[in-house]
Amino acid sequence: MKDFYTSIFNAGCLKFGQFKLKSGIVSPVYVDFRLLVSRPELLRQIGCRVADRAAEIGCDRLAAIPYAGIPIGVAACLTGGIPLIYTRKEAKQYGTGNLIEGDFQAGERVLVVDDVITDGASKIEAIEPLKEAGLIVTDVLVLLDREQGGARILEREGYRLHSLGTLSEAMKSLEEQQLIDGETRRRVEEFIAANQFA
């Protein structure tokens, strides 16, 4: 995993400073995997990792969550040969009016794919239209778990969380490589401990 953490740090996907999150909380770390679309080789490598993990978990299709999950899902689809669908944030007001894009059949097992998890709310919201369409959802796969309670919240709803890595593992690896200092790691770990959603 050392190379994964180093690569995402060097790509600017892990930023340190003061960042206001969606929840309104100010965090000393920001995770931004949207930058992967500008790093095709890194995106391909991550797609391979996601496809390998998806094969271990087992699924008929991947289901990506917009927006950051879509390029990750596409990369895994291309590198692993796993069919992909994705949910829309809202139904189109023209054409098919679909809430889910791509081909699928009711009864298929889908693995939900996204970039990062904090409290899990966006994952649960995205799963609803999949279930309403008759798809079976039991697992969610993300690149990085911020370890702020998302796994426990998903578990309460009946879903299992899988992640390629965790924020605390990333901090440990980056400090060992002297890419961040001990104070930065301490601030992040204290923030995680103090800001749990479950």
Q: What is the pLDDT of residues 145-186, one digit of tens each?
A: 999 999 999 999 999 999 999 999 999 999 999 999 999 999
Does residue 195 have a pLDDT over 70?
A: yes
pLDDT in tens, 58-90: 999 999 999 999 999 999 999 999 999 999 866
Q: Tell whether 195 is covered by a domain.
A: no
- pLDDT of amino acid 88: 81
Number of independent structural domains in the chain:
1
- pLDDT of amino acid 48: 98
Q: Tell whether 43 is covered by a domain.
A: yes
- pLDDT of amino acid 99: 85
**Burial call 74-113: b when 16+ CB within 10 Å, e when fewer:** bbbbebbebebbbbeeeeeeeeeeebbbbebeeebebbbb
Q: Tell whether 197 is covered by a domain.
A: no
Q: Tell whether 83 is covered by a domain.
A: yes
User: Is the backbone of residue 81 left (phi > 0), alpha (psi -120 to 50) or beta?
Assistant: left
Q: Tell whether 194 is covered by a domain.
A: no
Where residue 22 falls among pLDDT bands split at 50, 70, 90?
confident
Q: What is the DSSP letter of 107?
A: T
Burial of 165 from C-beta contacts in 10 A (0-12 / 13-18 / 19+): middle
Q: Tell whether 103 is covered by a domain.
A: yes
Q: Tell whether 193 is covered by a domain.
A: no
CB atoms within 10 A of CB 134: 11
Long-range contacts of 192-196 (CB under 8 A, 24+ apart): 192/146, 192/147, 192/148, 192/167, 192/168, 195/25, 195/27, 195/148, 196/148, 196/149
Q: Does the bond joining 86 to the residue before it have cis omega, within 30 degrees of 0? A: no
Where residue 92 falls among pLDDT bands split at 50, 70, 90?
low
pLDDT in tens, 23-62: 788 999 999 999 999 999 999 999 999 999 999 999 999 9
Q: Tell whether 196 is covered by a domain.
A: no
CA angle 4, 6, 12 (to 5 degrees): 105
Q: Are strands 26-31 and 84-87 parallel, antiparallel or unpaired?
A: unpaired
What is the span of the domain harbouring residue 124? 2-188
**How many whole angstroms separate alpha carbon 151 and alpha carbon 145?**
8
Nearest Cα to Cα of residue 145 among 174, 112, 168:
168
CATH assignment of the domain containing 61: 3.40.50.2020
- The helix or strand, by DSSP H or E, that contains position 20, with its residue range, turns out to be strand 14-20
